[in-house]
Structure formats: structure tokens, C-alpha cells
């Protein structure tokens, strides 16, 4: 059997860095730094996407396995998402499209 090439992450966060979301590489880098700072880099996989198809309220990030869609992201929102969703397992309902 082949050795796994990826860890069994608890969450997979995919942040849009597309044009309509402001091409927000700084926000993506900031999220990666916050995850690492929180000691969660073995639990949370962070990737980028070119466009997630819901551009009007960007920056957008979807987090699996729950399928929580966060919108209009800011540094302050990322702080709470890292603390509450990634650390404590409770999605930040007020920041998501569907309130889940
Ligand atoms: S450019 Fe971000 S959702 Fe489309």
C-alpha cells in the first residue's frame, strides 16, 4: 500500500483569490499565518481558488467538510473563524451565507 501523501485534515478551507474578490493574496497569506500561529497547520488545509462563482460579496472562502461559505472576509473575521470554527469546531454563523 502506498504511503498517504496528505494528512487527514479536520477542515479544508478554500479561499478565492479571483479578480472580483480583490485578488486577495495578502488575506490568504494571513490566514495561513493565523492557522500556523494557532498550532493548527496539521488540522487545517488552506488552499486558494481562482473563482468560486459567488463574486458579489467577496472575498469568499468555503470550509469543508461542513460546506460553510464565508463572505466579505476581513482580518477580524478570519481571527474569529480560526478561533471558533477551526479551534472549537463551531462555524461563525453570522459570517456565512446560509447561517450554518
Ligand atoms: S472571484 Fe471570488 S468568487 Fe468569483
What dihedral do alpha carbons 34, 40, 42, 46 form, nearest 10°?
-40
Establish if 63 belongs to a structural domain. yes
CB-based contact 16:31 (threshold 8 Å)? no
Please give the backbone phi and psi of residue 92, each rounded to the nearest 5 degrees, phi first.
-85, 90
Mean pLDDT score, 42-58: 93
Candidate of 14, 15, 18, 24 to mutate for ligand 1, largest count of ligand atoms within 8 Å of Cβ: 18
- Tell me the pTM: 0.92
Cell numbers for 35, please give them: 492557522
* pLDDT tens digits along 15-44: 999 999 888 899 999 999 999 999 999 999
Establish if 3 belongs to a structural domain. no
CA distance from start to end of the chain? 38
Gap from CA of 3 to ligand 1 centroid (Å):
35
How many domains does the structure of the chain reveal?
A: 1
Residue 34 maps to which CATH number? Answer: 3.40.30.10
Per the structure, the complete domain to which residue 36 belongs is given by 11-95
pLDDT tier at 56, thresholds 50, 70, 90: confident
pLDDT tier at 92, thresholds 50, 70, 90: very high
Amino acid at each position: 500500500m502506498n504511503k498517504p501523501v496528505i494528512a487527514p485534515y479536520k477542515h479544508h478551507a478554500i479561499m478565492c483569490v479571483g479578480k472580483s474578490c480583490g485578488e486577495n493574496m495578502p488575506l490568504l497569506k494571513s490566514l495561513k499565518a493565523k492557522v500556523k500561529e494557532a498550532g493548527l497547520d496539521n488540522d487545517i488545509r488552506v488552499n486558494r481558488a481562482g473563482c468560486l462563482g459567488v463574486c458579489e460579496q467577496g472575498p469568499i472562502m468555503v470550509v469543508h467538510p461542513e460546506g460553510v461559505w464565508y463572505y466579505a472576509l476581513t482580518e477580524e473575521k478570519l481571527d474569529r473563524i480560526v478561533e471558533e470554527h477551526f479551534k472549537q469546531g463551531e462555524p461563525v454563523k453570522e459570517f456565512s451565507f446560509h447561517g450554518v
